[in-house]
Amino acid sequence: MVHMIKTLTKAQFVAEDKTRFSCTINLNNKMMKCYVPSTCKLKNLLEIDCYDALVTKNHYQKNVSPYSLFALKVKGEYIVINSGFANNVVKDILMLKHQEVCAETVVENYKCDFYLKSKNQLIEVKSIISDKTTLLLPNIKSQRAITQLRQINSLLMEGYNVEYYYVLFAPFLKKCVVDSQSEYGVLLKECIKRGMKIKIYRAVLDNNLNLITQKCRKSFLSFTKD
């Protein structure tokens, strides 16, 4: 599936700033600040130095910069670092099969990414940004993800249907392994036992800078032995 992206402009990534959500880029031989739409420091996700970058016009954090970082070229491949774009990817996928897709809906005090009223189904979306070939999850500490799984577990017991999407901005990744001993792993396993469905899609930029998604096999995700 091909996903629409706002106009991409090529630039050079210079360095990640000390403050969150900010980096320095070289655009048309001019150094400038650029908004980084990622909840995690890039150095915790990628082995970054100085790379080719793709930026878009910044419509949300204009006080930071007129541009927003979209992707970095690592090991010859562009890796999307805009974690929020995972929701755009999943929405496009859902719209192929469902006419009514409600975004950011509150259900039983839980704010889900998407809600399908006709199926009484909640959709939660998680992005994975990585330049690795194998990744142990959770790869970053996220109390929010743990809290969400607790709430999802309760909603499953109340009869709600839940789908948990992983969107992989990771062109080299061949396998994800969940740490069964971690709190995240324990909760994820419990939710799966209660009927939560796992969906995995890889999203990569092709040579023409079109974002292409493909569904991954269920075997792509496994758990460590207890």
pLDDT by residue (tens digit) across 18-54? 888 899 999 999 999 999 998 788 888 998 777 899 9
| Residues in CB range of 189: below 8 A, 6 or more apart | 178, 180, 223
Q: Which of 39-48, 99-108, 124-133 has the lowest mean pLDDT?
A: 39-48
Q: Is 0.75 surpassed by the pTM of this model? A: yes
At 33, is the secondary structure helix, strand, or coil? strand
Confidence of residue 73 (pLDDT cuts 50, 70, 90): very high
pLDDT of amino acid 199: 97
- Give the DSSP H/E element, type plus range, for residue 198: strand 197-205
200 pairs with which residues across the strands? 166
10 pairs with which residues across the strands? 54
The domains of the chain, with CATH numbers, are: 2-80 (2.40.50.580), 85-223 (3.40.1350.60)
Residue 78 corresponds to which tokens in the numbers above?
């562009």
Residue 103 corresponds to which tokens in the numbers above?
């975004």
Q: What is the mean pLDDT of the chain?
A: 92
Percent of the chain at pLDDT exceeding 70: 97
Q: Which residue in 163, 186, 164, 166 sits closest to 175, CA to CA? A: 166
Query: CB of 117 within 8 A of CB of 100?
Result: yes
